[in-house]
Structure 1
């Protein structure tokens, strides 16, 4: 097991905690109950636990939607790895750096951070399977150069970090997700890009101002949940599906839930090709061109979202890139959505609303749209202090 904790300090800290918690604090209990009523189902699963720092892997049981539960990321063989060094070497990463934990270690690994960090990656960070990046309790920014790629990996959690000002990268060598140096082609400058990845959970991330997009799900990636994130200040926000000719994306399934889009987002929230997306309980704070769009006959169920149209510009939520081959194949449906400031949603005429067909472990209760503002009020990075709940 890799650990950078100082044992003596740890044991003194534990004894102090025992003394404190032995005295009941009914005020905190009452406050927790009230906060719980305002949280969405993901956050209620772990944020009400005052000892979440001592049981970080509890988070893996809280995911919903197409990822299902992320319990493959935990277990007796889990490696706890702490980042202590914000530097980056894309080919020979040092122990203690983020790249060493995310790319070199070939076990189940739970990555945390020793302190606040601003990390400037020299090359894209390729994340190995069964890896969790957990930024709770500190402020972690990955910014101003390369950002994150999940390439041919499965069972990955990215939680509570900021990604911004990501830049395109020329081809070059980089440490791959299996701990081997590989050649990597041109990278466009996305904050997070999924390439042939599966069972991925992106939660409580703040993303903005990147050269290309904020989040791409491409090349056969599937079983993805995108939740509790804050997308802002971006032209192209989220792309689901590689291109019109990539037919493997017909199997793509993505859940987009409890996210806050805006301000200053232009388009692609998301733009979907071929596959299926369940977009539910999100807050849309304006757009310029459109909010939801796509091509190649995708299926999309928009459910209990709040769409607030911009003061100027298009009030229409949807956009379709038509072609003669698939004009009648669209399945865009709005169910129990709410529209403010003149927003409108053009639905497919006739037919049945496509169902997400979740399994038992993927399923969740959908909240009334009247609660969307509350359910998304903590979207993006959480500020977790040492003296209060997260």
Structure 2
């Protein structure tokens, strides 16, 4: 009997020890979880498992990662719940119920949703004010065939779950802005989203394609940006980080590019970085024509656990550089995976370009073998409010 009891006690402690080890080896901020049997990433795992997410929309603000930090400044006391009911647009006298009225004129924090599926063709670029969240979940929101979105001198902006495409250039124009003041905008080049002199901006779960210039520009001193879970496709110039070679304020730029799907039919700039810093992690690259990641003016770029699938018969090299590469460059690859002959040429000191996230920004980069699963839901989601599923 004593021997049997000792054996049971020993087995109990072995089981207890195994459980404790498993708990200790599990990261506090897991890189993946499961949703309906499928691996999902750290952002989606934060809110998509919540029952009746449509009644808890603001939970999304606590799910952001990377340099934008948690977007909880967008919620809390005084937040206006604004519903877009009218797809029309008037750049100077927007009607209540339109997207422009909610994004440009409301002075308080505003969380914008949509009453139904909509196709919105903007007359002029849409100027998005500080502390604005545009949340397209639960509807199919299509913005295109004209000028598109501009975040200008703003902070704490969320753009989520939109399809933005076929954006066109437009000359200098006037639009209504905060406090109902008329704002003179210069020429826009036909980008889907242009972020200028702004901070704390989160671009998540959008589908962007076929625009006249680029899909996403982060320029003129903008910093603290996270670009996540988006699907970029059918585009020549995809993503520009840094205004031009002479704009030195972009040395302070910090951008996280994570869980995105690039392709098919993307040519270059995924991203192209000038001066500043980019942490590019857990993205899927479905080919390229010229290059995938490039830079100039001694940027710092850490490419980590991305899956690069080289195109057939053309350039296999992931990277591209312009100018002197003997300076302070730090452009390197860590735990990336290369398929179909893809290759990565490193420049500068390996390990120098660390993101150094704070607690609000930090996340665990997943193993590269999970990238296909973690980017499977990239782009605008089909969220069903009636069934509490997304």
Instruction: Tell me the TM-score normalised to structure 2 length.
Output: 0.90
- Give the Cα separation in 2 of the matches to 1:364 and 1:345: 24
- Give the Cα separation in 1 of the matches to 2:236 and 2:78: 42
- Give the Cα separation in 2 of the matches to 1:109 and 1:342: 48
Deviation at residue 388 of structure 1 after TM alignment: 5.1
Q: Residue 39 of structure 1: SS of its match in structure 2? A: strand
Deviation at residue 328 of structure 1 after TM alignment: 2.5
- Show the counterpart of 1:359: 358
Deviation at residue 286 of structure 1 after TM alignment: 0.1
Q: CA RMSD in A?
A: 1.2
Contact 2:332 2:350 in 1 (8 A): no
- Show the counterpart of 2:274: 273
- Show the counterpart of 1:86: 87
- Show the counterpart of 2:292: 291
Deviation at residue 330 of structure 1 after TM alignment: 1.7
- Show the counterpart of 2:382: 383
- Give the Cα separation in 1 of the matches to 2:303 and 2:253: 16
Deviation at residue 182 of structure 1 after TM alignment: 1.1
How many residues were matched structurally? Answer: 357
Structure 1 runs of 4+ off > 2 angstroms?
32-37, 176-179, 326-329, 349-353
Contact 1:153 1:177 in 2 (8 A): no
- Verify: 1:336 aligned to 2:335, yes or no: yes
**Closer/same/farther in 2, CA of residues 82 and 164 from structure 1, 3 Å limit:** same
Deviation at residue 98 of structure 1 after TM alignment: 0.2
Contact 2:47 2:59 in 1 (8 A): yes
**Closer/same/farther in 2, CA of residues 356 and 43 from structure 1, 3 Å limit:** same
- Show the counterpart of 2:105: 104
- Show the counterpart of 2:167: 166
Deviation at residue 389 of structure 1 after TM alignment: 1.7
CA displacement, residues 63-121 of structure 1 (integer Å, 9 cap, x when unaligned)? 00001000000002100000000000001100000000000001100000000000000
Contact 1:129 1:177 in 2 (8 A): no
Structure 2: stretches of 5+ with no match in the other structure: 1-32
Structure 1: stretches of 5+ with no match in the other structure: 1-31
CA displacement, residues 276-307 of structure 1 (integer Å, 9 cap, x when unaligned)? 00000000000000000010000000000000
Deviation at residue 199 of structure 1 after TM alignment: 0.1
Matches within 5 A, 1:159-308: 159-308=160-309
- Give the Cα separation in 2 of the matches to 1:161 and 1:295: 31
Contact 2:306 2:336 in 1 (8 A): yes
Larger radius of gyration: 2
- Give the Cα separation in 2 of the matches to 1:36 and 1:65: 26
CA displacement, residues 210-260 of structure 1 (integer Å, 9 cap, x when unaligned)? 000000000000000000000000000000000000000000000000000
- Give the Cα separation in 2 of the matches to 1:223 and 1:167: 27
Contact 2:34 2:45 in 1 (8 A): no
